[in-house]
Amino acid sequence: MFVTKYFVDDICMSNKPTDAELKVLQILWKDGPQTVRFVNDCLNVSKKVGYTTTLKIMQIMLEKNMLKRRSEGRTHVYAPVEEQEETQKLLIKRMVDTAFNGSASRLVMQALGNYKASPEELKEIKDLISKMEEDE
């Protein structure tokens, strides 16, 4: 069981997005299915990125099954395969397992210790804790 669990986790994590891929995914999650041109224009707002670079990243993501593509005439429209929440769960699980030795509380303490949470965020965290305690 031990070997199988970690082998399956490693297969799932083999498609862990790179930083560049995460930027593409964030655009597609926010704006819905889009062309390479649209994604490239969005990326260029913060940093100059060539069209062919964006195209190559998105082609690699298609091969890694992170994106799906449909044709609209001569244009290809790309969309994420996974919902944003699923990818976030996968990344958090990997981070908790590897960087925090499986301790979710260490992750939360580190995050709250290094970043100032807004009053709204603190309320959300308190509400979540209360709900989790009620569900026990």
Cβ burial of 80 (10 Å; 0-12, 13-18, 19+) is buried
pLDDT average, residue stretch 82-96: 92
Lowest-pLDDT range of 18-27, 36-45, 47-56, 123-132: 123-132
Domain 2-80 bears CATH identifier 1.10.260.40: no
- Per residue in 1-28, pLDDT (tens digit) is 444 444 444 444 456 899 999 999 999 9
| Coil vs helix vs strand at 80 | strand
